[in-house]
Chains A and B, each alone.
Chain A
Amino acid sequence: MAPVSTQNSLILKPAKGGLIRSPALLRLGWSLGSLLVLGLIWQLAADFAQNRYFPSPAAVFSVLGQEAMAGELFTHVGATLLRVVMAFAVAMFLGSAIGLILGRFKIADKFFDPWLILLLNLPALVIISLSYVWLGMNGTAAVVAVAINQIPNVAVTMREGARSLSRDLSEMANVYKFGWRKAFLHVTIPQLAPFLAAAARSGLALVWKIVLVVEALGGSGRGVGYQIYIAFGEFDVTKILAYALAFIIIVQIIETLALQPIQARVNRWRR
């Protein structure tokens, strides 16, 4: 549809003073400054401790550099990232579908709610062990295990979203003959967006942590989890921290460059 070009004179944006005008840049500045202080404290503590099991940030970054140069880092991070993406996608899709059905149909909710509670309280370790036993020690089992861990969380969040759908707006869409496609795109999805964003952000944080455990237990040759497991066997704390750091950085990049801008965009209409 063609938007009318008028000045948004009605939208009042408070002009903030200071050198940095962009709120995103300002937030980034704060984050970097705060991390810098943390790194400094770590460096000082490591200098003071002088212990090989408590390496300095400089040592950790040096190992990170070596692993990167050797190409090892990218192989393992890539393998783990692929598992994270697959498990995350499967969990978001199935979790959302289940949540929406439970939120819309009371009978389904009554029947399946105890199942959901059961699944929510099933320890990750149990799901992982059973996946490997039943599906074999392979990559599919790893992805399935992670997804099953995450599905109930997504489902519970999306169920709340489906329950909160406005009846007023669906009546409006009905009277004005939106049809299912238009109603889904313009009425339903925008109402679910905050719930989807919340499920995605907490989901991403949980999924990558569980993927590492799954890889460590699975003993597959590739993956950050397996590398950390081997490093643990050698008491190589520097390497453990280097791989952890690599992954934290990547997840933060996804969070900052993908999830946060999406969230800001879907919320721009709010007062």
Chain B
Amino acid sequence: MAALSPDATLIPDDSTIHVSVTRKVFAAAGGRDEQHVLNNVAFDVAPRSFLILTGPSGCGKSTLLNIIAGLDKDFEGSIDLGTSRDHMAFIFQSPRLLPWRTVYENIALVLPEGDLRHAKIPEMLERVGLTQAANAYPERISLGMQRRAALARGFILDPQILLMDEPFVSLDDPTAQSLRELVIELWNRQPTTVIFVTHDRAEAVQLGTRILRMSAGQATVVQDATVGLSLEERRDRAAVVREQMRIFGTF
């Protein structure tokens, strides 16, 4: 099988994403000094590539993702999402489901009323293994299941850009691993541009087609690597470790 990347070297079309953050500063607050978090971070993201943003914790990865999502508008630079702007999904670090709505309702709520995709919700629930939990309230199911619901909510939109902020932290290893495989499966079925933030290098190599590594303190991009793993190799621990060694020089 060919490499997982659906050719990332195509001529950029209007759905190429251009990110350029020249400066991002958090004002001093609550006894903390002013913080200069991002400095000249610029990159393009080709359509349907799975881009990983990685780096030490606190380096500003999540801040960058919030800027790309338009949640944080207080920065110097420009974000051009092209045609993807109106077709965005964001899978947060915590599931951020509405606790007073059922799993089914949480997914249905991101769709406009009368949208044809409402009919696809049962199929999506089945794909993420939540058919039995459709009518359960989020606080009554496990964190792993809540994360599955958050994935279903993101993918039901068939987004052109999918932003993910460490969506598998604080899960036990087998659960996190099964969710990673679920993401690979969903992404293969619905190839979309993904920007995925993680500090976990194995996860970065296993999921991504391209990895951007950021430095600590006034973060900037220090490494831009392409992952050369096939779909099968991503499920092979040894292959992942080898690729991790090649890209990061350590694991």
Contacts and interface: CB of A to CB of B under 8 A. Distances in A.
Nearest to A168: B96
Contact of A6 (B96, B109, B132): B132
Contact of B132 (A10, A168, A169): A10
29 contacts: A2-B118, A3-B104, A4-B104, A4-B121, A4-B122, A6-B131, A9-B132, A10-B132, A10-B133, A11-B140, A168-B92, A169-B96, A169-B98, A174-B70, A175-B70, A175-B88, A176-B89, A176-B109, A176-B110, A178-B110, A186-B109, A187-B98, A269-B99, A269-B100, A269-B139, A270-B99, A270-B139, A271-B139, A271-B140
Nearest to B138: A269
A9 B145 CA distance: 14
B30 to A, nearest CB: 15
Contacts of A4: 104, 121-122, 125, 131, 134-135
Nearest to A183: B109
Interface of A: 1-4, 6-11, 168-169, 171-172, 174-178, 182, 186-187, 190, 193, 266, 268-271
A174 B71 contact: yes
Nearest to A189: B100
B135 A3 contact: yes
A10 B71 contact: no
A6 B98 contact: no
Nearest to A266: B100
Given A190-B98, A269-B99, A172 B90 contact: yes
A10 B109 contact: no
A7 B99 CA distance: 19
Interface in B44-96: 69-71, 86, 88-90, 92, 94, 96
B135 A1 contact: no
A6 B140 contact: no
